[in-house]
Amino acid sequence: MNRKAAIIGGGVIGGGWAARFLLNGWDVGVFDPDPEAERKIAAVMENARAALPALSDVPMPAEGKLTFHGTIGEAVEGADYVQESVSERIELKHKVYAQLQQSNPGVLIGSSTSGFKASDLQKSAVAPENIIVAHPFNPVYLLPLSEISGSPANPPEVVEKTVQIMKDVGMFPLVIRHEIDAFIGNRFLEAVWREALWMLKDGIATTEEIDEAIRMGFGLRWGQMGLFETYRIAGGEAGMRHFMAQFGPALKWPWTKLMDVPEFNDELVDLVASQSDAQSGMYGIRELERIRDRNLVGFLRALKERNWGAGKVLREHDERRAAAFYAEMAKGLDTGAKAAPLVMWQGQVLPGWIDYNGHMTESRYYFCNSETVDNFLRLIGAGMDYVAAGHSYYSAETHIRHLGEAKLGDQLRGELQIISADEKRFRSFVRILKGEDCVATVEQLCLHVDMKAGKTVPAAPEVWANLKAVADAHAGLPMPEGVGRAVGQKKE
Amino acid sequence: MNRKAAIIGGGVIGGGWAARFLLNGWDVGVFDPDPEAERKIAAVMENARAALPALSDVPMPAEGKLTFHGTIGEAVEGADYVQESVSERIELKHKVYAQLQQSNPGVLIGSSTSGFKASDLQKSAVAPENIIVAHPFNPVYLLPLSEISGSPANPPEVVEKTVQIMKDVGMFPLVIRHEIDAFIGNRFLEAVWREALWMLKDGIATTEEIDEAIRMGFGLRWGQMGLFETYRIAGGEAGMRHFMAQFGPALKWPWTKLMDVPEFNDELVDLVASQSDAQSGMYGIRELERIRDRNLVGFLRALKERNWGAGKVLREHDERRAAAFYAEMAKGLDTGAKAAPLVMWQGQVLPGWIDYNGHMTESRYYFCNSETVDNFLRLIGAGMDYVAAGHSYYSAETHIRHLGEAKLGDQLRGELQIISADEKRFRSFVRILKGEDCVATVEQLCLHVDMKAGKTVPAAPEVWANLKAVADAHAGLPMPEGVGRAVGQKKE
């Protein structure tokens, strides 16, 4: 049975949490008195479905069940976890916690608060020990950070349980050592926000110019190394001490107006809002969200390729779910022994895969085949470890037929049939399927090589035994239509 | 003849400038009294060569000539532009400018200063009007931002000339309206730096935790939208005014310690340096630089795919150089008419193209073919505009032979031969070459389709005429070895 999260408050943040839980296979019960909540969450879900699965190389679990409730008590019924994302009013939060703890005593409550400390949130609660800060960043369904901040009232097991739930939905829980206002991220955001408002007010730069100054420069650095690792590099061969010696004195220079805050009045709001309209008003909010999401998917995918930072979090999340996936694949292998093609891969068409026709670009069909064959190799015992030990299957020759079109967000799967095999090679035939439609077929000859010697050699006995079992089972299957074709050959 | 830049000061920043100018085809003369300067710049160049060309879809110009000089006077001889990146000591900078202006009167001098205003730099200069701030961000060869900040002494044409030079080397020049200390980017960095040092000092978080708080959250957002566009989205459907109303009051809350600065002493330096060692000490600086560069190439490539932010700058830089590239391709077409295969694509193997064997992943050979064929289509008049008008060539069937290996950073090119063609289709044979080695061949059948009707139709007369001219010329070429093969077919 699915675990259940109660989402109290379904705005931008609450909706993002709902999406993250649902797409990770949790059921979600929402309470939000806004009559528009259901429509708003549906819009967030649409964005999230197009983005989050695009980060996974393991099939996502079936989406959880989403329900809306008229009372907090109903929403929290049977919940294993509550994420509270109501407005930043402490009395309101206290009222919500009282209702939650009355309806579901003992439930763990994480708050999305941007600034209240856990000890503020816990005041006057029946069970203060079960209330903790779990502060995310928008878009919640893509950015991994969740700042976990407890008070001395929270026992270690509550912190640990929160950490585990965050990991379960693919987040990076950062436990903060001491209670401080605004945790870590928002302190920096606040610092930059103050400075930015001064620049606008003084006419130094517009909202657009400030955004360019960030995203064309240090913003790119910070997405992958943060502040200190970046500065460590800036110190060059002489390192961090050199950097400190060089830039430390700047602390005393009049480089910021941080000592003071600009007056927050209508004039300032007008200035910011009108400049922002000039800069971004040509896009609707949903459109901007989609642009942002695709950019973030691109960044996160790049980091995942390099197993770095947030990309490492994604890989670890895949690994946690991989056991179930490989068990499913192994079932496929049994099926293979029963003479049916093996479904060896599932995935989603990503933004970077689209060509100028709006279709999946042709080389990505080959990529889908590679993923399918790689999973098959892992299954027969010729995965990463086998490669690391010096042997591998290399592709020698491939024939691809393009039979249909795949578009952004389409769910594809790769179904593999072994046409022939011996100790040194195999011929595979992969159908790339979209639902029941076959959008491409890929026939391929792979040779088993000793990588160091650079020549074809027999596979290890256990690998060959596994391969042979599948090949023998598949020998009974009809030869697929299109096998053995040359390019442009007439149909027979 | 190449233009020439004089680089005064060859540290991390000066070296990065040298690399950017050289790789964009400028000659570079360096002055740096450090006896290690030549070795250090060679190290920067090695990193830059692996990274900057990976962002270009137009072949890079031939690398400029790099020379080292014993005096400022020699370095600046014949220079069209000077980039000064010496230490942040105003007397030193004044001395350097005096020597530069004596040896090459009238030369434009951009300073990499992190904080001095142009009017400070210009004091006591013979020609203050030719001294301006052009402030980059590390790594200079990858990050596009250059903050251009002049004083009232700089005439508009000096600002404009600086802007044009920055664009010529692929940067994003951001002209700052009013002189302020530290420009825009460093003001934000300084604000965050202060807050971060407080957190370390107070034991709230370590350098590593602070970096995680940035790169797992808002750092990813800032690399593509900056501050205001991100907040516009956070306002949700209600927009920027709603966001301001929600977060404006936070300006008055005690969320930062910005009002004060921590004392800069040995204890603080030790704390930062030792935490940084614990966090990143397992990597050497050069290794960290390479990791950073590959991450940045991944981010920038993702943005380029989406034509957004810094990716838009890359596309525009390509476009500026594309005229020369297409002229070169058109020469290829003439050659084609003279019956030789056409070199239609050149490119570099990118970090994201590598598989777990350390080789270019198989689907990328198909990608190289796609790029080659796309350029050929553009050449015969079936490019983007033609597609936009409703017709396109679709790939029907492809046969790939893997004959060799390509590795990270290898330069590849695609050479195309037309095997046969009629009004409705053509068969191409592309060799993917690394130097003189053929690493793969790709044979392909493309059909000319009416995209709306979804059926094969004859090409427009002018497209067919261009295609036929090449096909007729290529009819005289010998049939390439390997044409017409099916997978696993015995050699004849």
Q: How confident is the model at residue B120 (pLDDT cuts 50, 70, 90)?
A: very high
For CA atoms A167, A171, A176, A181, the dihedral sign is: negative
Residue A34 per-residue DSSP state: -
Higher pLDDT, B253 or B490: B490
Higher pLDDT, A50 or B175: B175
Q: Are A285 and B239 in contact (CB under 8 A)?
A: yes
Contact (CB<8Å) B174/A272: no
Identify which of A467, A348, A492 has the alpha carbon closest to the alpha carbon of residue A408: A348
All residues at 6 or more sequence positions from A285 whose CB lies less than 8 Å from its CB, including other chains: B232, B233, B235, B236, B237, B239
Segment B149-169 shows an average pLDDT of 97
Contact (CB<8Å) B308/A296: no
Q: How confident is the model at residue A337 (pLDDT cuts 50, 70, 90)?
A: low
Q: Is B479 an 8 Å CB contact of chain A?
A: no
**Arithmetic mean of pLDDT over chain B:** 89
Q: How confident is the model at residue A203 (pLDDT cuts 50, 70, 90)?
A: confident
Which of A 226-265 lie inside 8 A of B, CB atoms? 226-230, 232-237, 239-241, 244-256, 258-259, 261-262, 264
**What's the rounded Cα separation, in Å, for the pair B26 and B62?**
9
- Taking only Cα atoms into account, the Rg of chain A, rounded to an integer number of angstroms, comes to 27
Q: Which residues of A touch B245 (CB under 8 A)?
A: 269
Alpha helices per DSSP H over B338-424? 362-379, 384-388
Q: Does pLDDT of A86 surpass 90?
A: yes
Residues making up the binding site of A for NAD(+): 9-14
Distance of residue B327 Cα from the nearest chain A Cα, in angstroms:
23
Distance of residue A72 Cα from the nearest chain B Cα, in angstroms:
24
DSSP of B213-235, one letter per residue? HIIIIIHHHHHHHTTHHHHHHHT
- Buried b or exposed e, range A454-491, using 16+ CB within 10 angstroms: eeeeebbeebbebbbebbebbeeeeebebbbbebbeee
Domains and CATH numbers, chain A: 4-175 (3.40.50.720), 185-282 (1.10.1040.10), 339-474 (3.10.129.10)
Contact (CB<8Å) A193/B227: yes
Listed range (A101-115, A300-314, B96-110, B209-223) with the worst mean pLDDT: A300-314
Residue A225 pLDDT? 93
Chosen for mutation from A197, A212, A287, A297 (greatest number of chain B CBs closer than 10 Å) is: A212
Segment B375-402 shows an average pLDDT of 93
Residue B218 pLDDT? 94
Residue A480 pLDDT? 94
**What's the rounded Cα separation, in Å, for the pair A396 and A425?**
10
Identify which of A272, A255, A311, A257 has the alpha carbon closest to the alpha carbon of residue A142: A311
Structure tokens at B142: 């990858």
Residue A55 per-residue DSSP state: G
Q: Which residues of B touch A226 (CB under 8 A)?
A: 210-215, 219
**What's the rounded Cα separation, in Å, for the pair B163 and B175?**
8
Q: Does pLDDT of B492 surpass 60?
A: no
**Arithmetic mean of pLDDT over chain A:** 89
Identify which of B154, B92, B163, B94 has the alpha carbon closest to the alpha carbon of residue B129: B154
Residue A215 pLDDT? 95
**What's the rounded Cα separation, in Å, for the pair B154 and B119?**
9
Give pLDDT tens digits for A31-67. Answer: 999 999 999 999 999 999 988 988 887 778 889 999 9
Q: How confident is the model at residue B195 (pLDDT cuts 50, 70, 90)?
A: confident
Segment B22-30 shows an average pLDDT of 97
Whose structure tokens read 């493309």? B446
Residue B429, H or E segment: strand B425-434
- CA A294 centroid distance within chain: 12
Which of B 48-87 lie inside 8 A of A, CB atoms? none
- CA B452 centroid distance within chain: 37
Q: How many residue pairs bridge chain A and chain B with CB atoms within 8 Å of each other? A: 528
Residues making up the binding site of A: 9-14
Q: Is B90 an 8 Å CB contact of chain A?
A: no
Q: Does pLDDT of A255 surpass 50?
A: no
**What's the rounded Cα separation, in Å, for the pair A190 and A258?**
10
Q: How many C-beta neighbours within 10 Å does residue B246 have?
A: 17
Segment B326-343 shows an average pLDDT of 71
Give pLDDT tens digits for B308-320. Answer: 999 999 988 888 8
Contact (CB<8Å) A184/B300: no
Structure tokens at A105: 């005593």
Q: Is B158 annotated as a binding residue?
A: no
Q: How many C-beta neighbours within 10 Å does residue A117 have?
A: 18
Q: Does pLDDT of B326 surpass 80?
A: no
Identify which of A156, A146, A152, A219 has the alpha carbon closest to the alpha carbon of residue A183: A146
Residue B262 pLDDT? 60
Distance of residue A413 Cα from the nearest chain B Cα, in angstroms:
17
Residue A144 pLDDT? 96
Q: Does pLDDT of A348 surpass 90?
A: no
Higher pLDDT, B435 or A244: B435
Point out the residue among B205, B220, B367 whose CB comes nearest to the CB of A223.
Answer: B220
Report the percent of chain B where pLDDT is more than 90: 63
Q: Are B334 and B323 in contact (CB under 8 A)?
A: no
All residues at 6 or more sequence positions from B254 whose CB lies less than 8 Å from its CB, including other chains: A181
Contact (CB<8Å) A214/B310: no
Q: Does pLDDT of B255 surpass 50?
A: no
Identify which of B317, B470, B453, B318 has the alpha carbon closest to the alpha carbon of residue B382: B470
Q: Which residues of A touch B358 (CB under 8 A)?
A: none
Q: Which residues of B touch A418 (CB under 8 A)?
A: none
Contact (CB<8Å) B451/A245: no
Listed range (A320-324, A438-442, B298-302) with the worst mean pLDDT: A320-324
Identify which of B362, B390, B396, B402 has the alpha carbon closest to the alpha carbon of residue B450: B390
Which of A 357-386 lie inside 8 A of B, CB atoms? 357, 361-364, 366-367, 369-370, 384
Q: Which residues of B touch A305 (CB under 8 A)?
A: 298, 351-352
Contact (CB<8Å) B181/A253: yes
Q: How confident is the model at residue B386 (pLDDT cuts 50, 70, 90)?
A: very high
Identify which of A454, A394, A458, A449 has the alpha carbon closest to the alpha carbon of residue A424: A458
Give pLDDT tens digits for A376-433. Answer: 998 899 988 899 899 999 999 999 999 999 998 898 999 999 999 999 999 999 999 9
For CA atoms B217, B221, B226, B230, the dihedral sign is: negative
Structure tokens at A177: 């050592």
DSSP of A166-218, one letter per residue? HHHTT-EEEE-SS--TTTTHHHHHHHHHHHHHHHHHTTS--HHHHHHHHHTTH
Q: Is B25 annotated as a binding residue?
A: no
Give pLDDT tens digits for B447-488. Answer: 999 999 989 999 999 999 999 999 999 998 999 999 999 998
Q: Does pLDDT of A176 surpass 70?
A: yes
Listed range (A314-323, A328-337, A351-360, B206-215) with the worst mean pLDDT: A328-337
Give pLDDT tens digits for A220-240. Answer: 999 999 989 988 888 776 777
- CA A416 centroid distance within chain: 28
